Amino acid sequence: QKEVEQDPGPLSVPEGAIVSLNCTYSNSAFQYFMWYRQYSRKGPELLMYTYSSGNKEDGRFTAQVDKSSKYISLFIRDSQPSDSATYLCAMRGGANSKLTFGKGITLSVRP
C-alpha cells in the first residue's frame, strides 16, 4: 500500500459547483497536511496547510483532516474556471521530515 493515495481523476465540474478532493494515508506519524495547486506547465504552490486534525478555511477553500480515519479533504465552494489545475495532497511527520506527495488530481471547471 502506498503511503499516500489520491483519487486519480480527472474531475470535471460546472462553474459554481462544490468540489471535494480527497487523500488517504497509511502512516499514522503524519501530522502536517498540505494541499498544493499546480497550474499547467508550472510548479506546485502551497494552497492550504493544516496541523493535526480539524478544519481550516480560507475563502472558498476548506481543508479537513481526520486523523482517526487517516483521511484528508479539500473542499472548493463556488468553483471557478480559474480553479482548473492539478491538486496534490502532501503530508509529513515531525518538523524537518520529508514531504510525501499524492499523485495529484486534475480538476477542470467548465464555464
Q: Which residues bind another protein (CB under 8 A)?
A: 32, 34, 41-46, 49, 88, 92, 95-96, 98-99, 101-104
Distance CA 84, CA 98 (A): 28
Q: What angle do CA 49, 111, 63 make, to 5 degrees?
A: 15
Complex with another protein: residue 41 or 111, whichever CB lies closer = 41
Coil/strand/helix, residue 81? helix
| Shortest Å, Cβ 56 to another protein | 12
Taking the least distance from each CB to another protein, the nearer of 18 and 99 is: 99
Minimum CB distance to another protein, residue 96 (Å)? 6
- The CA distance from 35 to 62, in Å, is 10
Measured distance CA(84)–CA(16) in Å, rounded: 12
> Between 6 and 79, whose beta carbon lies closer to another protein?
6
Q: How far is the CB of 89 from another protein (least distance, A)?
A: 10
Write out the three cell numbers for 99.
514531504
Rounded to the nearest whole angstrom, what is the least distance from the CB of residue 4 to another protein in the complex? 9
